[in-house]
C-alpha cells in the first residue's frame, strides 16, 4: 500500500514515514529559495527563529526581497546563501538559487537534485523539507504582512503577543519546532513546552 501524503501542521504535508538518514545522525532541514522571492523571504523568518531553538546560526545577513517585479516588495528577510548552522541534533542545508536582483547565486548540485527529484521535481520555491518526512511548498503566512518593514520592526512584532503579525509568524515557527521535536525525539529546549507538545501530539 502506497503512502498517501496528508496535511499536518499549517501547510506542511506528511509525505513519507521514512526519515532522510544522514551520516551525522542528525535531522535534516533543507530549504530552497531565491533572494527575489517574497514568499521565501517570509518563510526564512520562521526557519531562522525555529532553528535557534536547536542550535546557533553564524553569518546571518539581513536582506530584503526584490524591489520590483514581484507581487510583494522589499520583504525583510535573511540571506542564507553562505550561512553556517551548528547543532547537535539538526543539520541545515539549502540553496539560494538567485539574489534579490534576479541574478543567479548558487548552483544546484547532485545532493540537491537527489532531494528535489524525490520531493519537489518541479523545483518550486520556497521549498522546505524537515527530516525527509514533512515538506511545505510556499510560505506558512503571507509576505504582505511584513513587506516594506524594517527588520527591527518585525523583531518587535515577534515579541508582541497581541500582534497579528507576530501571531502569524510565531505559528509557523512553532509548527517547524514541533516537526523537529518529532524528528529529534524531543531533543530541544522548546520541546518541553505545553504548546509544542500539543502540536507534536498531532503528528502521532
Cis, peptide link before residue 126, omega less than 30° from 0: yes
Can you tell me whether residue 30 is helix, strand or coil?
strand
CB 28 within 8 A of CB 131: yes
In a domain, 47, yes or no: yes
Is residue 11 one of the residues assigned to a domain? yes
Whether 129 maps to a domain, the answer reads yes
Place of cell 503528528: 203
Residue 43 lies in a domain: yes
Position 1 in a domain: no
Cβ contacts of residue 181 below 8 Å, gap of 6+? 187, 188, 190, 191, 196, 200
Q: Which three cell numbers stand for residue 130?
A: 524537515
Grid coordinates of 172: 509557523
DSSP 59: S
All cell numbers assigned to 140: 506558512
Q: What is the pLDDT of residue 161?
A: 84
Write the pLDDT tens digit of every residue in 81-98. 999 999 999 999 999 999
Domain that holds residue 122: 6-201
Over residues 60-80, the pLDDT tens digits come to: 999 999 999 999 999 999 999
pTM of full prediction above 0.85: yes
In a domain, 34, yes or no: yes
For residue 42, is it within any domain?
A: yes
Q: 68 lies in a domain?
A: yes
**Which of 97, 94, 34 lies closest to 64 in space, CA to CA?**
34
Is residue 40's pLDDT more than 90?
Answer: yes
* pLDDT tens profile 6-20: 999 999 999 998 898
* 48: nearest Cα among 37, 57, 39, 38: 57
Structural domains counted in the chain: 1
Amino acid at each position: 500500500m502506497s503512502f498517501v501524503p496528508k496535511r499536518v501542521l499549517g501547510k506542511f504535508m506528511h509525505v513519507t514515514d521514512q526519515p532522510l538518514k544522514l551520516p551525522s545522525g542528525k535531522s535534516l532541514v533543507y530549504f530552497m529559495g531565491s533572494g527575489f522571492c517574497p514568499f521565501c523571504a517570509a518563510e526564512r523568518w520562521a526557519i531562522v527563529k525555529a532553528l535557534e531553538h536547536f542550535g546557533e546560526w553564524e553569518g546571518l545577513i539581513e536582506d530584503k526581497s526584490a524591489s520590483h517585479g514581484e507581487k510583494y516588495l522589499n520583504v525583510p528577510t535573511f540571506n542564507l546563501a553562505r550561512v553556517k548552522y551548528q547543532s547537535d541534533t539538526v543539520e541545515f542545508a539549502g540553496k539560494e538559487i538567485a539574489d534579490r536582483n534576479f541574478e543567479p547565486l548558487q548552483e544546484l548540485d547532485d545532493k540537491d537534485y537527489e532531494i528535489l527529484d524525490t520531493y519537489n521535481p518541479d523545483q518550486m520555491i520556497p521549498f522546505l523539507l524537515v527530516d525527509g518526512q514533512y515538506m511545505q511548498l510556499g510560505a506558512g503566512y503571507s509576505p504582505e504582512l511584513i513587506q516594506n518593514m524594517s527588520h527591527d520592526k518585525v523583531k518587535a512584532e515577534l515579541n508582541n503577543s497581541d500582534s497579528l503579525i507576530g501571531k502569524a509568524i510565531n505559528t509557523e515557527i512553532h509548527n517547524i519546532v514541533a516537526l523537529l521535536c518529532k524528528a529529534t525525539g524531543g531533543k530541544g529546549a522548546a520541546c518541553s513546552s505545553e504548546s509544542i507538545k500539543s502540536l507534536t501530539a498531532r503528528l502521532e
